[in-house]
Amino acid sequence: MPPRRTGTHRVVRLLVSSLLAALLVSAGSVRANPLRRPVGSRLLNPSALAAAQKRAVERLAALRLPVFCGGGRLPNVALTFDDGPSPYTSSLLRLLRHSGAGATFFLVGNRLADWPDAAASEARFGSVGDHTWSHPRLPGLRYDGAAWEIVAGRRAVEAASGHVVFLFRPPYGLATPRLDRLVGRLGMLDVRWTVDAGDSLPGATARSVVRSVEGTVAPGSIVLLHDIHPWTLVAVRRLLPWFNRHGLQLVSVPELLRLDPPTIREQHGDASGHHCGTRLTTRAR
């Protein structure tokens, strides 16, 4: 639970402390996997690749706009998993690693203590991001409380993973202009999605998730999934060969943005839709 509000000075001190903590951490969560390099990176060593990914994220974060997709010019897709960690996270990591697939994980701060090694494993594998401390609907909170959720979530993920967090995703894709400005001041990029796999919808099954993804994914897509459901794990196991057959390379969000960044038009959107591809694509829920 957030601490009692003591005025704006409390929030300012908290934000400053968070920024100072970020500066003291030696490496970012946007890092390269030394065992799996993205397309076009064979001439880059892991450190140079991580630096290039970080620059790509920072360039887009400076625009203070959310990202919904890559540019769609290359056959790359970014799988993202929200709301973890969970009992299924380690199995998911093994599955993705075995397939050579990249991924990004948006973690909830108050769930990290139950799986203390998960964030570090995810950061070593791909990228991790802030999904707030307790997964509330941010617009329904007072500003101080919402700011606390964002900062506390980030600090928890950084402490658990050992890396500075540059990626953020608001729960349910909901924020406010004032919170958007806060995320920008914290140097984080708001990452939304192109394809909602629907794995958190009532009655979701592995089959429905597979159909949803196969029917809507395209080069440059960012796919929303959740690693808290057993059927999501089954669906991913079925989807990985499908991506391979269709020539789609699965990469982390920083890899996607380094290789194939979106246009400014593709960054304009909201909770109900975005301009990725040739037409307005709306959320599945």
Per-residue pLDDT tens digits for 3-50: 444 444 454 354 435 444 443 333 334 444 444 444 455 667 888 888
Residue for token digits 């969560």?
A: 29
Is residue 284 predicted with pLDDT exceeding 70?
A: no
Is residue 132 predicted with pLDDT exceeding 70?
A: yes
For the question of residue 82 being annotated catalytic, the response is yes
The string over 203-240, giving b where at least 16 C-beta atoms fall within 10 Å of a residue's C-beta and e elsewhere, is ebebebbbebbeebbbbbbbbbbbbbbebbbbbbeebb
Instruction: Please give the Cα distance from 72 to 55 (Å, whole number).
Output: 20
Among candidate residues 131, 226, 229, 274, the one labeled active-site is 226
Residue 46's pLDDT is 80
Is residue 279 predicted with pLDDT exceeding 70?
A: no
Is residue 179 predicted with pLDDT exceeding 80?
A: yes
Instruction: Please give the Cα distance from 164 to 228 (Å, whole number).
Output: 24
Task: Say what the alpha-carbon torsion angle 78, 84, 89, 90 is, to the nearest 10 degrees.
Answer: 110
Q: Is the overall model pTM greater than 0.85, yes or no?
A: no
Residue 273's pLDDT is 58
Residue 276's pLDDT is 76
Is residue 84 predicted with pLDDT exceeding 60?
A: yes
- Reference 173, options 224, 126, 216; nearest CA is 224
For the question of residue 131 being annotated catalytic, the response is no
Is residue 65 predicted with pLDDT exceeding 70?
A: yes
Is residue 221 predicted with pLDDT exceeding 90?
A: yes
Residue 245's pLDDT is 97
* Across 80-105, average pLDDT: 97
- Reference 185, options 62, 10, 27, 30; nearest CA is 62
Residue 70's pLDDT is 96
Is residue 213 predicted with pLDDT exceeding 50?
A: yes
Residue 169's pLDDT is 98
How does pLDDT run across 42-57, given as a tens digit for each residue? 667 888 888 999 999 9
SS3 173: helix
* Across 61-85, average pLDDT: 96
